[in-house]
A and B are shown apart, each in its own frame.
Chain A
Amino acid sequence: EIVLTQSPATLYFSPGERATLSCRASQDIRHYLAWYQHRRGQPPRLLIFDTSNRAPGIPARFSGSGSGTDFTLTISNLEPDDSADYYCQHRLRWPLTFGGGTKVEIE
């Protein structure tokens, strides 16, 4: 099983700042990584697929990068609505796994 480690567990920001979230895979997953935003009481929302491709309707403030084992989600110009849990997920092979999540709080 591929383990995805997200760090840190919680991040605190002010509006307008930039957030950098990390996801590290226990083995090479090439570019097969997605990022999701999950607000309380809402369905998870696909932000980025295959490392760096924004899903339809996702603002350009969200960007993804990386390859192999180290991946980053960057959120620029943070807005209060960006407060949420963020998860990475690989799709290299079965079983699919998610990272443990990073909580982003905008104060």
Chain B
Amino acid sequence: EVQVLESGGGLAQPGGSLRLSCAVSGFTLSDYAGFNDYAMTWVRQAPGKGLEWVATVGRRDESSNYADSVKGRFTISRDSSKKMIYLQMTTLRVEDTARYFCAKSSSSNNVHPDMDVWGHGTTVTVSS
């Protein structure tokens, strides 16, 4: 069973930086598709608000995509050797305060994903 576990949240000042990490586990050698075959996504939920897509890193060497609200400030990346997903967040704003979820694409065939495995999230608070 594939699982994801987020870490790295905390308190940051406006204009500051944080790096979120997402550890992916549970792929086995018998799985048809492995870690590199699935797009991985960060989704956030601000206090009292709904879910908001943040960024997706594609399969293998496919490109990354970002919400306009974070484009140019956040960078998503993957480390295949460690089975890790990262979200480097810079120039943080108060409105970036949210719980950040890491999620796996439901299908290795999907370039634009829906997500079937989610972590419990990590909380980012941006405040002076």
Contacts and interface: CB of A to CB of B under 8 A. Distances in A.
State the majority secondary structure of interface residues on A.
loop
Contact of B65 (A55, A87, A95): A95
A50 B56 CA distance: 19
B51 A95 contact: no
Given A94-B65, A96-B53, A55 B116 contact: yes
Contacts of A99: 50
A87 B50 contact: yes
Contacts of A85: 50
Interface residues of B, number: 25
Interface string B88-119: 00000000000001010011001011111011
Interface of A: 1, 32, 34, 36, 38, 42-46, 49-50, 55-56, 85, 87, 89, 91-101
List 7 tightest A-B contacts by C-beta distance, closest first.
A43-B118, A34-B114, A91-B112, A96-B53, A98-B51, A101-B50, A46-B116
7 contacts: A43-B118, A44-B115, A87-B50, A89-B51, A94-B112, A95-B67, A96-B41
